[in-house]
């Protein structure tokens, strides 16, 4: 067990959430890019795939992960 204080723990959870969101964005981008190269998607959909996720979405994912960490069952 680690001796991290609550701030360090929350930072770690936020970093995990960011890593998760970054990987999800990257997979969606690569998939959309492949579809675009095969002419199975539009330039507008490709442009949408380039958009980053909102901070609110990141915070929601971090809260979801943190709930798991503090769960006591």
Q: How many CB atoms lie within 10 A of CB 42?
A: 12
Domain boundaries, the chain: 6-62
Top-confidence residue, 2 or 1: 2
3-state secondary structure of 49: helix
How much is the pLDDT for 11?
A: 94
Spatial separation of the C-alpha atoms in residues 41 and 18, rounded to whole Å:
27
* 13 exposure class (CB count in 10 Å sphere: 0-12, 13-18, 19+): buried
What are the pLDDT digits (tens) for 20-50? Answer: 999 999 999 899 889 888 988 888 888 888 8
pTM of the model: 0.77
Spatial separation of the C-alpha atoms in residues 71 and 23, rounded to whole Å:
25
């Amino acid at each position: 067990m680690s001796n991290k204080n609550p701030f360090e723990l929350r930072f770690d959870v936020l970093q995990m959430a960011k890593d998760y969101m970054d990987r999800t964005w990257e997979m969606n981008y690569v998939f959309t890019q492949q579809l675009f190269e095969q002419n199975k998607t539009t330039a507008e959909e490709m442009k949408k795939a380039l958009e980053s996720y909102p901070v609110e979405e990141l915070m929601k994912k971090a809260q979801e992960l943190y709930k798991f960490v503090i769960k006591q069952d």
